Homo-oligomer: A and B are copies of this chain.
Amino acid sequence: MSGAPEGFAGRVTASFDHQAAMRTLGARIVRIAPGAVDIELPWRDDLTQQTGVLHAGIVAAILDSACGYAAMTLMPPDADVVSVEFKVNLLAPARGERVVARAKVKKAGRTLTVCDADAVAISGGEERLVASMTGTMMSVGDRG
């Protein structure tokens, strides 16, 4: 994936730092590359659902942010990104020392960018695929 405008990593980091929800969840960006962003969420008991695994909505939250920022890496410097829609498949119980969402751009367009992302749970150095997302992200005006 080429064509990331200069300064993309700084813009992604700055925008992510304004996502209060990510801070509240304890998530952090661990990789920014042209067309690809990874977000990591260390385990927290207080983000689980009734079966003791990470709540599907929390998994969706880091997948969605990863998709949005993967899309943003390829957008013009003055563009912001919003989610149009996403689809999540829960593939295995999300439990581990941490869960990492890895998004990459599938198709970048002027207005719409489609991203794929996987979420893996990592424990003792082993990782397991727990969820996947396909999301449509939209470039919106300038960030003002």
Contact = CB atoms under 8 A, between A and B. Distances in A.
A45 B45 CA distance: 22
19 contacts: A19-B55, A21-B47, A23-B46, A49-B65, A56-B86, A57-B61, A58-B61, A60-B86, A61-B61, A83-B90, A84-B89, A84-B112, A85-B114, A89-B106, A91-B107, A106-B132, A107-B129, A116-B132, A136-B136
List the number of copies, as a whole number: 4
Interface residues of A, number: 50
Interface centre among A19, A58, A90 (most CB of B within 10 A): A90
Chain A interface, >50% SS class: mixed
A40 interface: no
Contact of A85 (B18, B45, B90): B90
